[in-house]
Structure 1
């Protein structure tokens, strides 16, 4: 009797092992902004394709570009246009969504609208009191992202927050600015400080803070799609041409399909189809 039970267990174990071996892992790393929607896409796809496991890691856009180039991840993610120095003929870029960058303040802040010029002056440190831009007589607490962030890179480009130092292009954001590692950290800082201003991905907006109009236009998916809200950037997925497996390619094709893009839209981002 024991031998029969043992044999049955061995067969079951072999079946489990075979199933586990057959399951393919797809690795994706990079932008923390893209990670938010990619995790939802990955979970939905896995539920429909049990033989596929998708591992998503938020490591920053710069790290995502490197991971795609050196093959440490099948796919890299970036929440900005690639720099000329990052582009390679073999590096394939796929736009999976477009996203607005929302300029956010604490709910207690009375302001509703700022111009691009006013925002740039705040981030350069040229405006240090809210009264200088029509708000209360209170100090401005500037919150930015870390230098590896694609959101920061896109924000600096759009707002003209770059300057030349000894022939090199560097950030013009004030060194006094607080640095938040990820949308969640920036949200927490701004939501808990009545004098703070920050910027986050459009899909991260919620009732814990206030998203300002920029040049009179509110940050919405519709405004980004129409081109009216211009503080926007692409969500990129990168891979070495011909490198990803068939399963990985199937997943990426699904992401840009009507079904995948419906999920992109449901998460507050702008679909590409």
Structure 2
């Protein structure tokens, strides 16, 4: 009997030790960890096309911006159709282009129709004469009188005798609209030639010793075939355009439609073009950045 009790006690102790080991092992079991990583959204790579339509005067600015944007976004192509400001504004209105380009501010009726104009740069409109002309400075009033036919001979403004030949842009051109608005000659200009591009105006003035015309600052810089006269004693330059001392200047405008979302790639281009990151590029194209 005594021996049986001893055996039972031994079994009880063994079972107690086993239970203790099991409990210890259970407490030492490492807690289950969640190895699931929080998923980060992958960066969306832009692709597709961005269509720009409008001002011929914005060609250099749009060119450098488009080239850089495509270099930074290899899946995107930026196209530019140089049709003039009026056509560019219409393209933005009817959706045939992502972004319209205008070298003038939107008119009240255009803004009222739901279009939005965002100034991306400023541009001086240079008044140009033939490189051989003796005339170096004109006032805004004299320029207006020349283009409306009140002054017809260069000798009246200090030049050599010769009948003045006025050359300008076609109706609907932003450059023409800007020039006529500033000089208060709208619908009153008497021109010998109305040409459809800034380059054509420069070429025509370069080939005619008695010619006068107008062109964007960015288009005439570096040209030695024409001469930009000072206006009221102020040269047309980036500094004088930015500080407002040069009288004949206009904005370069990106035109979009209010309430109509741009595609991802078009919005990205718009954001880039209007950011300070684009300032040096705009400056290199001869215009004055505003960001």
Provide TM-score, normalisation by structure 2: 0.81
SS at match of 2:288: coil
Structure 2 matches for 1:143-154, cutoff 5 A? 143-154=167-178
Superimposed CA distance per residue, residues 172-224 of structure 1 (whole angstroms, 9 cap, x where no aligned partner): 001x4211211100010011111100000000112221000001100001100
Does residue 259 of structure 2 align to residue 245 of structure 1?
A: no
Hey, what does 1:228 align to over in structure 2?
245
Q: Which 4+ runs in 1 deviate beyond 6 A?
A: none
CA contact (8 A) 2:57 2:103 kept: yes
Summarize the alignment of residues 1-273 of structure 1 with structure 2, pairs less than 5 Å apart: 23-88=47-112, 90-162=114-186, 171-174=187-190, 176-205=191-220, 206-241=223-258, 242-273=260-291
* Structure 2 residue aligned with 1:14: none
The aligned counterpart of 1:15 is: none
Determine the structure 1 residue equivalent to 2:41: none
- RMSD across aligned positions (CA): 1.2
Residues 116, 215 of structure 1: 8 Å contact kept = yes
Structure 2 residue ranges without an equivalent (≥5): 1-45
CA contact (8 A) 2:55 2:101 kept: yes
Distance in 1 (CA, whole Å) between partners of 2:49 and 2:268 is 13
Q: Which one has the largest radius of gyration?
A: 2
2:123–2:251 contact (8 Å) kept in structure 1: yes
Aligned residue pairs, count: 243
Asked if 1 retains the 8 angstrom alpha-carbon contact of 2:120 and 2:253, the reply is yes
Of 87-96 and 34-43, the range deviating more from structure 2:
87-96
Q: Name the residue aligned to 1:17.
A: none
TM-superposed CA distance for 1:86, in Å, is 1.5
CA distance in 1, matches of 2:289, 2:60: 15
1:64-106 CA-partner distances (Å, limit 9, x unpaired): 1110011000000100111122223632221100000000000
- Equivalents in 2 of 1:25, 1:35: separation in Å? 18
- Paired residues of 1:145 and 1:181 also in contact (CA < 8 A): yes
Measured after TM superposition, the shift of residue 35 of structure 1 is: 2.5
Aligned-partner Cα distance in 1 for 2:120–2:131: 32
